[in-house]
Amino acid sequence: MTHKIADVNVFYVSTSDCAGVGDSTLRYDKACMAVVEIRTDSGLSGYGITIKDEIAGLIRNTIKPILMGKDPVNTEDIWQEMFLNIRGSGRKGLSLVAISVVDIALWDLKGKILGLPVHRLLGGGKRFIPTYASGGWTSYTLDELLAEMKSFVDLGYSTIKMKVGVELGRNIKEDSRRVHAVRDMVGPDIDIIIDANNVWDSGTAVRFAEMVRDCDIAAFEEPVCADDIPGLGRIRSSINIPVATGEHEYTKYGMRDLLAGKAVDIVQLDATKAGGITEMVKVSAMCQAWNLLFAPHCFEIVHMHLLSAAPNAFKLEKLFLFNGIMRRCIKNYPEPVNGILEIPDLPGMGLEFDMEWIMQNNELK
Ligand SMILES: [Mg+2]
């Protein structure tokens, strides 16, 4: 039986449960999700998820006409056609977010058509995926930070992530005190990741790594601007902490540039931005070829499938800030137990979106 794409819809919803939270370079006023639904003439629906509402125009005007009438199983062919058609609108940024969420919806459909979960389509048999607990915002007081980190450990996580770069990155002595306080509290057996969210220059980052040398840091994430690939290369060759980056990088070409710059130890490209499942399979292979760890940013409910099949897998990021909106959007929202995420045993992406709530609360015209 053949299946043809018959309709494409975009929805956008938000909740206010992260109002006031911030990292070194951004403040948040709400948690948002964009959901794309692709329907076939055979009555199936596939769903993708990402975070930007601005993609709606690109999907409706540029991508939907490409998709109509196509067989959704042909993800590689469709990806290439989408990528060629957005060439003038930007081969990074929002154009790629639009391609990504559509590609994820196509893989959801492919799984439903073939009757297999996506991780099995990718060849991965693992259904239990390790995650780390991510939070520790710079907007928190020290007491709030310590309370959250303790709550993560109490939930059974052995790896936790906190932000650094308080006061817009201008008080590294306070950052050092916060990292030391967390290490003192959790003891030696918990892995700590620090995330500077692009705030520093490479010299400051190298200095900061030295200030927390005695804290046994498992990874130093985005110490400088994501585009400062020479700076990342300098940091990586200067410090004894693995450098993590990639959440603001796009496609295999962005991955190639990180590799050429010797800029990364832990690769964090994100399927909901960097090109979907189709592109991230290639990024994962590049990690294997360079013997680097693969740890896609956030959206563990998408990335669990990739990590199931990734030989160089690290852990997935469980971002606690998204719990509220995810629990609203996804009826069977899979949540880790003792840090281990179980992939739902369902065809496709394995997620049951609450389309009634999403349509009722849709903010797009
Ligand atoms: Mg980050």
pLDDT at position 259 is: 98
| Mean pLDDT score of the chain | 97
Percent of all residues in the chain with a pLDDT value above 90, rounded to a whole number: 96
Residue range 106-110: average pLDDT? Answer: 98
Residue whose structure tokens are 């409706």:
60
Please tell me the distance between residue 221's alpha carbon and the centre of ligand 1 in angstroms.
Answer: 6
Please tell me the distance between residue 23's alpha carbon and the centre of ligand 1 in angstroms.
Answer: 9
Residue range 71-96: average pLDDT? Answer: 96
In terms of DSSP bridges, do strands 293-294 and 243-245 run parallel, antiparallel, or are they unpaired?
A: unpaired
Residue whose structure tokens are 């399979």:
281
Q: What single string gives the DSSP state of each residue in 201-230?
A: -HHHHHHHHHHTGGG-EEEEE--B-TT-HH
Please tell me the distance between residue 245's alpha carbon and the centre of ligand 1 in angstroms.
Answer: 8
Please tell me the distance between residue 195's alpha carbon and the centre of ligand 1 in angstroms.
Answer: 6
Name the more confident of 89 and 113.
113
Percent of all residues in the chain with a pLDDT value above 70, rounded to a whole number: 100
Residue 304 CB contacts under 8 Å (≥ 6 apart), including other chains? 119, 129, 316, 334, 341, 343
Q: What single string gives the DSSP state of each residue in 303-356?
A: HHHHHHT-TTB--EEEEGGGHHHHHHHBTT----BTTEEEPPSSSBT---B-HH
Please tell me the distance between residue 67's alpha carbon and the centre of ligand 1 in angstroms.
Answer: 32
Joined tokens for residue 294: 């693969």
Other CB atoms within a 10 A radius of the CB of residue 183 amount to 18
Please tell me the distance between residue 352's alpha carbon and the centre of ligand 1 in angstroms.
Answer: 27
